[in-house]
Structure formats: structure tokens, C-alpha cells
């Protein structure tokens, strides 16, 4: 059941006060096996670039690979298949009809090595209500047994409005370098399995179109981030990425031809994924 609009502000305020006192801890191990599966998926999208012959030759997690570890168990999922432990609710336990990953930041304080015990402490830092949409800011602090540390911030938006495009192309920057890419339903399914992501918008076309009003099945936000960082590492192997912030602009659909692009703007490397309709995601390497 979805929230009515008039209860939204009261719900967000009440729920926010309680949820910000809570934290969640996830334990995992930074195994080579999960990283090997992801590496094979990513390498298949960059056939003209230098290969990582064996992920076990690497000592540390490549940028974006932390998404593989310390994920929720998906025991209490909503109608959309996504875990509801952080989903805003009102006094009667009613949830929003749709959720979206809208932005985030990754900061590598000290790289996490493979085959280490990893702990992630998660808590909600801020909740805002903007015209009936709840924006929930989440902090995830990864630490490993050898002193590695990755700090991640992500923002999810919760709304009762079905998806609708603005109808105007989202402008993409002029790239210094680009790489064409298309993801299939199999690619997206493999990534969902690796990250234990049960969100229906990534595999159930009928649900995505009929329930949420989306144009089709969506590529995951973390996968877009990882693709950009993986490609960047191929182009600039000499750069150790310490901070990457990004903003999801529009859905990227399965089987939709797109391009990964990079440009140097105001002294920073800016990356994007875009299609003929414009930007899907844009990110900045600091």
C-alpha cells in the first residue's frame, strides 16, 4: 500500500527521528571469487583495452568493487523486491511506491586488500522532504582487518509518483575520449546476483513498465559507477582514485546503446554515460 500525499510530511518527520538513532553492521570477506566474476563481466565490455589476466594478481580491490561486499540479506523486501529495512514508513507501516538511487560519493581512505575480513557500519545521516519525495542520505563505512577503509555516501529518493520523462534531452558534455557500450539483460542479471540486489526494476520488465511507469528494465546505479571507474583505470593506470562523486541523471535501459565518456573540465576528470537522449550518469574524480 502506498502513502497518501497529505501524510508524507508527517511521516518523514516521525520516521526520521527514530531511524537516525539506528545503525546496521554487515560482515563479509573480500574474496577473489566474487571479484573474478565481476572482472569477467567488465572485461567483456572493453575488448580493445588491456586486460587483467587474473584478478588474483591484484592485491587491492579495484575502484567500485566494494559494492560486491557487505550487502543486506534481503529478508524483509517490499513489493519492488528491494530490502525495506531503511524504507520510510508512516505510523501505519505504509511504504512509498517507488525508490531510486540518485547520487553518491566514494572515498578510499586506505585501499582494502583481497582476502580480508571486512565490516561495514551503515547509518542514515539525513532525511529531507522535497515536494512529497523523501531523500534519504546513507553513510556506509567499510573497514578491513588490515586497516583498510572506504567511506561511501549514497542518497535514495522515495516517491509515490510513477516515472515520467521530462521529454527534453539531458545535455551531455563534449568528450575527449569515449567508448561505446550496451548492456544486456544477462549482464544486468549477473551483476544483481553478485551484489545480492533483488530490485525488480533490474529484471522484471512487466513490473518496471506497468507498476513504476519505466520505459524498460534498468541498469543498476552501482554498475554504472563501476563501469566508469573500471574504464578510467584502463585509461589512467597511473592515477590512484581516492574520491569519486556522481549523480544519476536518467535511467539507462537494458539493450540501450550508450557511450562512456571522459573530459578534463576545470582541471578535473569528468566521466559520464550517455545515449542519444543525453546523460545517464555523470561523475567527478577529485
Q: What is the CATH number of the domain that holds 235?
A: 3.10.129.10
| Cβ atoms of residues 82 and 95 within 8 Å | no
Which residue bears the cell 589512467? 236
Which residue bears the cell 542514515? 124
| Cβ atoms of residues 38 and 62 within 8 Å | no
H or E segment and range at residue 149 = strand 149-159
Provide the whole-model pTM.
0.93
Closest CA to 232 of 49, 38, 33: 49
The angle at the Cα of 27, spanning 23 to 28, to the nearest 5 degrees, equals 145
Q: Show the domain range for 176.
A: 5-285
Cα(35)–Cα(38) distance, integer angstroms: 5
pLDDT single digits (tens) 182-231 = 999 999 999 999 999 999 999 999 999 999 999 999 999 999 999 999 99
| Cβ atoms of residues 149 and 181 within 8 Å | no
pLDDT single digits (tens) 227-279 = 999 999 989 988 999 999 999 999 999 999 999 999 998 888 999 999 998 89
Residue 131: pLDDT band with limits 50, 70, 90: confident
In order, the DSSP letters of 230-273 are HHHHHH-TT----EEEEEE-S--BTT--EEEEEEEETTEEEEEE
Q: Give the number of domains in the chain.
A: 1
Amino acid at each position: 500500500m502506498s502513502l497518501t500525499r497529505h501524510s508524507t510530511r508527517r511521516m518523514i518527520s516521525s520516521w526520521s527521528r527514530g531511524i537516525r538513532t539506528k545503525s546496521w553492521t554487515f560482515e563479509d570477506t573480500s574474496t577473489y571469487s566474487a571479484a573474478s566474476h565481476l572482472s569477467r563481466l567488465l572485461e567483456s565490455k572493453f575488448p580493445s583495452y588491456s586486460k587483467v589476466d587474473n584478478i588474483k594478481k591484484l592485491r587491492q580491490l579495484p575502484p567500485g568493487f566494494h559494492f560486491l561486499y557487505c550487502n543486506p540479506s534481503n529478508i524483509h523486501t517490499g513489493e519492488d523486491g528491494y530490502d525495506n529495512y531503511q524504507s520510510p514508513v508512516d505510523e501505519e507501516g505504509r511504504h512509498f511506491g517507488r525508490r531510486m538511487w540518485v547520487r553518491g560519493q566514494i572515498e578510499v581512505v586506505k585501499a582494502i586488500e583481497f582476502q580480508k575480513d571486512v565490516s561495514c557500519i551503515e547509518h542514515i545521516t539525513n532525511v529531507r522532504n522535497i515536494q512529497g519525495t523523501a531523500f534519504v542520505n546513507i553513510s556506509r563505512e567499510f573497514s578491513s582487518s588490515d586497516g583498510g577503509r572506504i567511506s561511501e555516501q549514497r542518497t535514495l529518493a522515495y516517491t509515490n509518483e510513477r516515472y515520467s520523462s521530462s521529454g527534453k534531452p539531458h545535455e551531455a558534455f563534449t568528450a575527449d575520449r569515449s567508448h561505446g557500450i550496451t548492456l544486456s539483460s544477462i549482464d544486468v542479471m549477473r551483476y544483481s546476483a553478485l551484489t545480492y540486489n533483488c530490485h525488480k526494476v533490474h529484471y522484471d520488465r512487466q513490473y518496471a513498465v506497468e507498476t513504476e511507469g519505466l520505459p524498460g528494465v534498468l541498469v543498476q546505479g552501482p554498475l554504472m559507477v563501476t563501469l566508469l571507474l573500471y574504464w578510467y583505470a584502463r585509461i589512467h593506470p597511473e592515477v590512484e582514485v581516492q574520491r569519486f562523486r556522481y549523480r544519476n541523471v536518467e535511467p539507462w535501459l537494458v539493450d540501450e546503446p550508450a557511450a562512456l565518456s571522459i573530459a578534463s573540465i576545470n582541471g578535473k576528470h569528468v566521466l559520464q554515460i550517455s545515449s542519444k537522449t543525453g546523460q545517464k550518469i555523470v561523475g567527478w574524480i577529485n
